[in-house]
Amino acid sequence: WLLKSYAPCGVDSQGRSIFWIKGGGGVQIEEEKASMLAGVMYFMAIHGDNVSLHDGVSFIIDVRSQTKVGNEKRLQSAYQAFPLRPQRILIFGAGAVKRVFINGLITVASFFTKQKILDRIRFASVEEVLAEVPNA
């Protein structure tokens, strides 16, 4: 249950590990500490090979409906401290309204972030994401 927020799925077509965050239920307040520990262990495992360590990872985010718990800001600030080096960021499960919101956030982030990072972000369908995962 500690890794319920993550989908271990191997490497992408370039040989980089895939860091997949699943959508769905939030982390309960009493599970925060254990969830963060699991997140750190998952992060270390994802970056445990030479290709991913040197070339980065593919980052897949499932933004389908999520249950609000009230601790999202605190957990998000902790997750943002991970030194993640995504070479691609695929976002799936976003409807039209959520895409507009995410694009707004990306526009704001463009003032503080290098363009090469923003160029790595794209919306994808579930089929496109699954095509990146071998043996899915």
pLDDT tens digits, 41-58: 888 888 888 988 888 898
| pTM score above 0.85 | no
pLDDT band at 116 (very low <50, low <70, confident <90, very high): confident
User: How is 104-122 classified by DSSP, letter by letter?
Assistant: HHHHHHTTTS-HHHHTTEE
Give me the numbers of helices (H) and strands (E) for the chain, helices first please.
6, 4
For the chain, give the longest Cα–Cα distance.
39
Question: Where is pLDDT greater, at 49 or 26?
Answer: 49
pLDDT at site 1: 55
- Residue 26: pLDDT over 80: no
pLDDT digits (tens, 9 = 90+) for 55-78: 889 888 888 767 788 888 887 788
Could you tell me which of 44, 54, 2 has the C-alpha nearest to residue 27?
2
